[in-house]
């Protein structure tokens, strides 16, 4: 049985992970097709309840308590400049998140099995 390995140390900053827990994180997510063209965008905002190399990053929505998981990769996370951030899709205004992040999720490349060859 193969056990999942945590990501390399250069993908997850343990110190930053520790600082994230309990803080507000606003993540912009871009969904792209196989060729890298943008398909849609969304945002996730909430309190970080888990941030470690083994499990990843979990954000719990302040209003709905819904949990959203992200891979254990802190490279795109940075402190948020003070201010208000508007969710373009919903119009919701997020006031003063502690951190900002952005993710691009790209559809997997088509392989020969997908083509029915």
How far is the C-alpha of 75 from the C-alpha of 32, rounded, in Å?
Answer: 19
Assess contact for 99 and 85: CB atoms under 8 A. Answer: no
How far is the C-alpha of 112 from the C-alpha of 117, rounded, in Å?
Answer: 6
Residue 12 counted as domain residue: no
Residue 86 counted as domain residue: yes
Instruction: Flag whether pLDDT at 7 surpasses 90.
Output: no
Chain segment 45-103, per-residue pLDDT in tens: 999 999 999 999 999 998 899 999 999 999 999 999 999 998 776 788 889 999 999 98
Q: Which domain holds residue 69?
A: 21-102
Please count the structural domains in the chain: 1
- Enter the DSSP assignment of 107: P
Phi and psi at 42, nearest 5°, equal -150, 170
Angle (nearest 5°) at CA 108 between 87 and 110: 140
- Look at the pTM and tell me if it is higher than 0.75: yes
Residue 50 counted as domain residue: yes
- Enter the DSSP assignment of 16: H
Residue 14 counted as domain residue: no
Residue 11 counted as domain residue: no
Residue 45 counted as domain residue: yes
Residue 83 counted as domain residue: yes
How far is the C-alpha of 103 from the C-alpha of 31, rounded, in Å?
Answer: 9
């Amino acid at each position: 049985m193969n056990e999942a390995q945590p990501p390399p140390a250069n993908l997850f900053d343990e110190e930053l992970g520790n600082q994230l827990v309990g803080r507000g994180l606003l993540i912009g997510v871009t969904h792209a097709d196989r060729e890298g063209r943008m398909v849609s965008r969304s945002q996730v905002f909430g309190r970080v309840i888990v941030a470690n190399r083994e499990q990843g990053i979990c954000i719990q929505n302040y209003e709905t308590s819904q949990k959203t998981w992200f891979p254990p990769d802190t490279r795109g996370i940075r402190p948020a400049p003070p201010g208000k951030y508007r969710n373009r899709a919903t119009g919701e205004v997020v006031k003063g998140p502690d951190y900002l992040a952005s993710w691009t999720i790209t559809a997997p490349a088509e392989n020969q099995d997908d083509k029915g060859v």
